[in-house]
Amino acid sequence: MVKLRRAVFLDRDGVINKPFVKDGKSYPPSSLEEFELLPGVVQAINNLKSAGYAVVVVTNQPDVATGKQKLEVVESFHRQLSQQVDIDLIKVCYHTDGDDCSCRKPRPGMLLEAAEELGIDLGKSFLVGDRWRDIESGQRAGCGTFFIDYGYAERRPEPPYTAVESLAQASRAILETKAESS
């Protein structure tokens, strides 16, 4: 029997890179010049990788479908991210809610696809996000969830989740969980 891997799924904007907040709502950077990793992200991901976790980015990017963002710009973000940190896989949903797809968070499609592609045990994996959609997606996939609460003016996630202040704090908690279960 093949042993499945543990993974940490990361939302992109607000977890890995700096989001732009206007009127209490989070927006992605609009150009590569604005794409800036948050403090502690590189070390947090390196620590997770060293502990044997696969690291998978799962991000909704509906601005491509609506014409507010060019696909090439989003892809340039991901190329730069992959040069700065060791990411196993980046999954992107370019759909809007109206497309009724299975990949757009809060649905768990991107997590399920990544689990199939990389041999991930979702029940021993975690998701770190900064919006209710992220947390619900992780919950639906059977992952433990960590919520970075920036106080956005939007719906809040439903429990259970662990509230954290950053990816660095979430990674420390995940690594403590792994140590306790070893």
- The per-residue pLDDT for 160 is 97
C-alpha to C-alpha distances, 128 to 31, 33, 98, 163, 170, nearest whole angstrom: 24, 25, 25, 10, 7
Segment 73-99, tens digit of pLDDT: 999 999 999 999 999 999 999 999 999
| Band of pLDDT at residue 181, cut at 50, 70 and 90 | low
Phi/psi at 27 (5° precision): -130, 150
Positions marked catalytic? 11, 13
Radius of gyration of the chain (CA): 15
The gap from C-alpha 59 to its chain's centroid, in whole angstroms, comes to: 6
pLDDT tens by residue, 105-117: 999 999 999 999 9
The answer, yes or no, to whether residue 171 has pLDDT greater than 60, is: yes
Residue 182: pLDDT band (50, 70, 90) is: low
If one counts every other C-beta atom within 10 angstroms of the C-beta of residue 12, the result is 25
Average pLDDT over residues 140-153: 97
Q: What phi and psi values does residue 120 have, to the nearest 5 degrees?
A: -100, 135
CATH number, domain 7-181: 3.40.50.1000
pLDDT digits (tens, 9 = 90+) for 8-61: 999 999 999 999 999 999 999 999 999 999 999 999 999 999 999 999 999 999
The yes-or-no verdict on residue 178 having pLDDT over 80 is: no
Average pLDDT of the segment spanning 153-178: 96
Beta carbons of 43 and 168 less than 8 angstroms apart? yes
Position 2 scores a pLDDT of: 73
Note the pLDDT of residue 180.
Answer: 73
d(CA 173, CA 13): 21
Task: Please provide the DSSP assignment of 25-74 as one string.
Answer: EEE--SSGGG--BPTTHHHHHHHHHHTT-EEEEEEE-THHHHTSS-HHHH
Burial (Cβ within 10 Å: 0-12, 13-18, ≥19) of residue 123: exposed
Domain range list for the chain: 7-181
**Average pLDDT over every residue of 146-174:** 97
Q: For position 37, what pLDDT does the model report?
A: 98
Query: Phi and psi dihedrals of 13, rounded to 5?
Result: -70, 120
Q: Six-digit token pair at 157?
A: 């996630």
